[in-house]
Structure 1
Amino acid sequence: MFKDEFNQREQVYTYNWSKGLTQTPKTPTSILFTPRRDFHSFGYDAEEEYARLSQYKENSYWYFFKRFKLTLYKNENLNEITMIRDCTGKEMLAIEVFSGGIHYLKNHLLTHFKERIPHLREGDIHWVLTVPAIWDEAAKKFMRKSAEKAGIPGSRLTLALEPESAALYCQLGAPRSGLSPMQPGAKFLLLDCGGGTVDITVHEVRLDNSLKEIHRASGGPWGGIKVDDAFQEYLLELFGFERIISLPKHDVIELERSFELLKKSVNTEDKNYHMQLPLTLRQSADLEPGTVVAGKLRLNSKVVKVFFERPAENICRKIQEILLSLTHHDLDTILLVGGFAESKILQDKIQLKFPTMKVLQPNEPGAAVIKGAVEFGHCPEKIRFRMSPYTYGVNIVTPFRHGKHPTSKYIEVNGEAYCDDIFHTHVRKNQSVETGTEISNETYNPMTKGQTSMNFKIVTSDSLSPKYVDDPGNRIIGSFDVRIPHAFSSLERSVNVKMIFRGTELEVEAKDAHTKQIYKSSFRFE
């Protein structure tokens, strides 16, 4: 969407991807690399080429990754040298895989637009990359680095949280979203059910129609692929492990696509469903009569509904947990978005579990995130307040006190006893923070006269009141060094450290009190 079109509240356009003779608004997160680890193809093209290679036994040295975005969720050791495995166990650098996909999508968009707008320049585009709200700072920073590696300058890149984007689409996108804008003071729970993860946020509409988060983002890996996993377990029971595990790759892809079509058609009616089977499975002699009819697998509704039970139960349990924690809020609306949210089974289970709630969906719930990301790119200020997902702080050293500090933290510097790795809090978990506004500003002094630099570790914690940097649930997400004057210079020797949330990302800023030099967003990716 162009800026003048956005100001006129016109339609947000999305690309339709070719899948055989049909077109779909989404393409799968699949990517193929050559044996030399060079990018080859993405989405449906990657799946079809890998299936062709498999059919002719030429796939052994190729790298095929599917649903690789999930590898960033709760990855405790994520960094620029993190390796991920493809579908056959071969390893590649994760950043090469992610940047390869982003580079393809970037060039695809540029090619598509330059055919229509020859004078378009890359510098005219501001890019918005969506990420799950339940990702931590390391995962967000990893995505930013992947985008920069793909040729998108950091100054022209915004990371948008997926449920927030969808919330903006539902609230600001009227009449495009098909929903009436909520009035100031209204509160709603947004449930973003994607293929991999489910994100849940709770917002309140403010007087200026901006949104204030009133419960920190939460969720889990309960997306549509959990339904796929349940179906695969059923196939293993039906046909046997050996038969399923030995299926050629092109048959596996055919199965996955057939089930995807079936999954979208499932509703609450009691009836039989039919899906296409590969020839190798149609010929199974040990199946019960009527299981395969005219080359198609017959499934009754009771069997199919079981595939949805576990993810639906996890989602409802999480919603219940959130609602119980918000008993003092007047919350009566659940907004369902995301591809998995189109499931009639899921919609029915949520409405049955929460009968007093209004369960609503916008037009094209599967496209709500991407269309809302356009809203966010133009109006990031519409998300004014967020709940801090973690406690953030830095490491400090304090005088050691026997009986209070553990001996494992004891260090001695110039004959003085100190306690090392104290967690000094800047922002507490669940604290409401205003974006773009300074949240904390603390002053730190060097330990010794000869010290000419200070190192700060940036640490996150799941605890409200962490004591030490290495407490369980803590994670060092970066560090940086600040130069300070020599002790004999008679100059002020202190450093100010402050934290700011710029949009969806944490920014840490340190300033030498004497030189006023600012060390901004310079902490290293650990």
Structure 2
Amino acid sequence: MDDLTTTLFLTKAKNSASPMACGDPLVVVAVDIGSAFSGYAYQYRTDHQKEANNNILCPLWIEKNNKVSGKTASSLLLNPDGSFNSFGFNAESVYSKMFRDHVNGKFRNDKFPNKSPSDWFLFRNFKMKLYEKEVLRRNMKIKDETGKKKLPLRNIFRESIGFFKRHALEAICKEKDVRSDDIFWVLTVPAIWSEPAKQLMRVAAIEAGIPRESLILALEPEAAALFTKEQKLCRQIQDGKVDLVLFTPGSTFMVIDLGGGTGDITIHEVQSDQSLHEKSMATGGAWGGNTINEAFMQIWKDILENRFTECMTNYPDEIHEIQQNFEIQKRGFGENTGQGCLSIPIPECCREIPDFKKKFEESTKYPGLKVCRGKIEFPNKIMEGLFLESIHEITKHIGGLLAKNSVDTIILVGGFSESKLIYKSMKESFPNIKILNPPECCLSVLKGAVLYGFQPQQITERVSRYSYGFSSRETFNPKIHRSERDFTHREGDELEDVFYPIIPAGETVVANEVREYKCLTAYLGMIQVELYGTRDSNPKYVHDYEQFKPEFPCLHIGDIVGEYESDGKPDNHEVLLRVAFGHTQLNVTAEFVVKGEKVLANARFELLK
């Protein structure tokens, strides 16, 4: 650490006014960019005031075979120059048609006359690129579906959010006399994401044209918890009458948000004022529905080998139809329909592979496959095997949480939670706990995010997932600092790179709780303080040699930066920083004293390198 923050003085301050408060908006719009499916929902203030869950609107999207859905596919199609083309089911349809026309010799695009379909960029499942990214670069690039071209991930989120912004504005302004500045926006993010990942989403939304003062992030399982809290799901007998009621004060419930990419888990307790306290830090893992899709596609790769890879390269639209057909049938798999198999139409490119039928029906790795009348029949035993690893990981993790936390009810939400096998396995694994899969479970996050936009104060306590702090020095004490690790940090009579925490992982903070600390700044007019984070609840050093690195090492996740204008240097070269916790993201303000007078400075977290 440099000399900017060699001395720290930590104090706690009482709650301050929330810098994220949305006021009293006319309309709240929530946008959920999911790993597999995305969408938005909105509600007018007049409807919200009548009843919180009343008339939260979600547009319907038309998918394959004219089915309608409350969400559309998380597929973004960009033109060869990187400009927006289309999003969702429409993007997949446009992309497929381009390749079909190309194969038939009919492809032509007047705007890009010298380009072929492979020059367009199609991105799917891009949200997972932020999973477990604790350090992020602002211009981090990812590959498109061809694997040959790259664009900045920030641009991909910007264009995706921008699509929903335009779509929502058009729908709302068509319905009522509403202006864009009457709208408050909520963007959902997984609770297990790092602060840099959250900041990248926020930056992308602002670049998409959403005003920063009209934007808030909502944690996905928290949003689902808010929506769940407003539903009458609990059985109650009173005066001999059975009824369904809301969760009562003191009730504790676990929300398991199973989407396409991740499983996101929180535990909340209902308070007397109906607000929610988080009882355990958010946890989760890469257990989403896409793991099942990948395992299914691996069957084709294992059997057809390089010929299937060629099909993926030359006929991506046909291969994607396999994925689409499987996704539709996967949701209902496990129902007692009497069918012993799952049937998937065979794309034309695969039918042209020599001995295609023989390769499938004589597979020793996947016995029992049948090719019949243009479809492959996958036995239920093979299909159930695709779910086993995800189900095992989910139930194992939940079992660990339940060993430490008392829970009345488990609520399953998210698209993957619609799987009958998921619900069945949960009932079997935890027979003494109520397992509920409420109506509209795939829209719980979206609708709950709308509620959060109107009342962010409904989440009154959170548990920090990370330890945050700074690099400092302390006096070397030979009676205490006796390990080889300590001696590597010794510099004369001092220890360097000591982690100085402002909050440890696992600590509960109330909404708007502020931690104040002073640090030395060596430069006139500028603040730059390195911020470190780790999932370790008791970290010792911000840097370590390889042989001493703990399971969760400290990472330089970003900086607190800022500027100020003053005629003189701060008294004692000190700056007072106030970090606000208990929100869905970190916030910071700064204050100096110059010649005895307080001077406020613009300060912010810069977490994208």
Residue 376 of structure 1: how far off its partner (Å)? 0.8
1:4-403 pair list within 5 angstroms = 4-9=46-51, 10-20=54-64, 21-55=66-100, 56=102, 58-89=116-147, 90-117=149-176, 119-174=177-232, 180-247=245-312, 248-269=315-336, 271-282=340-351, 284-286=356-358, 287-288=360-361, 291-326=370-405, 329=406, 331-399=407-475
Q: 2: distance between equivalents of 1:451 and 1:4?
A: 50
- Name the CA distance, whole Å, in 2 between partners of 1:244 and 1:42: 26
Distance, in Å, in 2 between the alignment partners of 1:102 and 1:313 is: 34
1:461 correspondence with 2:534: yes
Tell me by how many angstroms 1:522 deviates. Answer: 1.6
Give 1:100's aligned amino acid: E
TM-score by length of 2: 0.79
The AA in structure 1 aligned to 2:92 is E
**Counterparts of 1:113 and 1:215, CA distance in 2:** 38
1:424 aligns with 2:489: no
Write the distance in 2 (CA, Å) between the matches of 1:78 and 1:48.
33
Per-residue CA distance 1:27-86 (angstroms, 9 max, x = gap)? 111111111111111111111222222331622222111010110111244121111111
Q: Which segment is superposed worse, 152-161 or 233-242?
A: 233-242
User: Do the aligned partners of residues 322 and 73 (structure 1) sit closer, same or farther apart at CA in structure 2, a change above 3 Å counting?
Assistant: same
Q: Post-superposition shift, 1:425?
A: 0.6
Distance in 2, Cα, partners of 1:428 & 1:281 = 55
Distance in 2 between residues matched to 1:276 and 1:489, nearest whole Å: 73
* Alignment partners' CA distance in 1, 2:187 and 2:562: 31
Letter in 1 for 2:519: Y
Mapped to 2, the partners of 1:179 and 1:231 lie a distance apart of 40
Would you say the 8 A contact 1:392–1:428 is kept in 2? yes
Measured against aligned partners, the alpha-carbon deviations of 1:437-466 in whole angstroms (never above 9, x if no partner) come to 22x2223346x8x98866311221111222
Alpha-carbon distance change, 101 to 310 in structure 1, aligned in 2, over 3 angstroms: same
State the SS of the aligned residue for 1:523: strand
After alignment, is 475-484 or 498-507 more displaced?
Answer: 475-484
Higher relative contact order (CA 8 A, sep 6+): 2
User: With structure 1 as the length reference, what TM-score do the two structures score?
Assistant: 0.91
**Other structure's SS at 1:386 match:** strand
Deviation of 1:240 after TM superposition, in Å, equals 3.6
Alpha-carbon distance change, 499 to 46 in structure 1, aligned in 2, over 3 angstroms: same
Residue deviations 1:478-516 (CA, integer Å, cap 9, x gap) = 223567999x97945432223212631111233214442
Alignment of 1:397-416 (within 5 A): 397-399=473-475, 404=481, 406=486, 409=489
Query: Where does the alignment leave 5 or more consecutive residues of structure 1 unmatched?
Result: none
Superposed CA offset, 1:335-393 (max 9, x none): 00000000000100111111111101211111111011111111111110000001111
Extract unaligned runs of 5+ from structure 2.
1-42, 104-115, 234-242, 363-368
What amino acid does structure 1 have at the position aligned with 2:349? T
Q: 2 CA distance for matches of 1:465 and 1:174?
A: 41
Q: Which amino acid aligns with 1:161?
A: L
Counterpart amino acid of 1:24?
A: S
- Residue 243 of structure 1 and its aligned partner are, at CA, apart by 2.8
Query: Helix, strand or coil: the match of 2:557?
Result: strand
Structure 2 CA distance for aligned equivalents of residues 375 and 88 of structure 1: 39
1:179 Cα deviation from its structure 2 partner: 7.0
Moved more, 125-134 or 276-285: 276-285
Deviation at 1:5, TM superposition (A): 0.3
d(CA) in 2 for partners of 1:3 and 1:464? 41
Output the CA distance in 2 between the equivalents of 1:490 and 1:189: 49
Read off the aligned partner of 1:373 and give its amino acid letter. A
Match of 2:5 in 1: none
Q: Distance in 2 between matches of 1:411 and 1:51?
A: 63
Deviation at 1:319, TM superposition (A): 0.3
| Mapped contact 2:524–2:569 kept (Cα < 8 A) | no
The 3 A distance-change label for structure 1 pair 502 and 250 is same
The answer as to whether partners of 2:418 and 2:441 remain within 8 angstroms in 1 is yes
Structure 2: distance between partners of 1:342 and 1:521:
44
* Partner secondary structure for residue 335 of structure 1: strand
CA distance in 2, matches of 1:470, 1:520: 29
> In 1, Cα distance between the equivalents of 2:326 and 2:142?
27
The corresponding residue for 1:2 is 44
Q: Deviations over 1:163-201 (max 9, x none)?
A: 0000110102448xx973211111111100001111010
Q: Which residue of 2 aligns with 1:475?
A: 555
Q: What amino acid maps onto 1:97 in structure 2?
A: I
Secondary structure of the structure 2 residue equivalent to 1:13: coil
Question: Does the C-alpha gap of structure 1 residues 452 and 374 become closer, same or farther in structure 2, counting only changes over 3 Å?
Answer: closer
1:80 is paired with a residue whose SS is coil
Return the offset for 1:519. 3.8
Note closer, same or farther for the CA distance 1:196–1:179 as it changes in structure 2 (3 Å cut): farther
CA contact (8 A) 1:396 1:420 kept: yes
Measured after TM superposition, the shift of residue 265 of structure 1 is: 2.0
Letter in 2 for 1:80: R
Deviates more, 1:166-175 or 1:400-409: 400-409
Describe the SS at the equivalent of 1:479.
strand
The alignment's C-alpha RMSD in Å is 2.8
CA distance in 2, matches of 1:452, 1:11: 50
Give the whole-Å Cα distance in 2 for the aligned partners of 1:360 and 1:91: 42
SS of equivalent to 2:438: coil
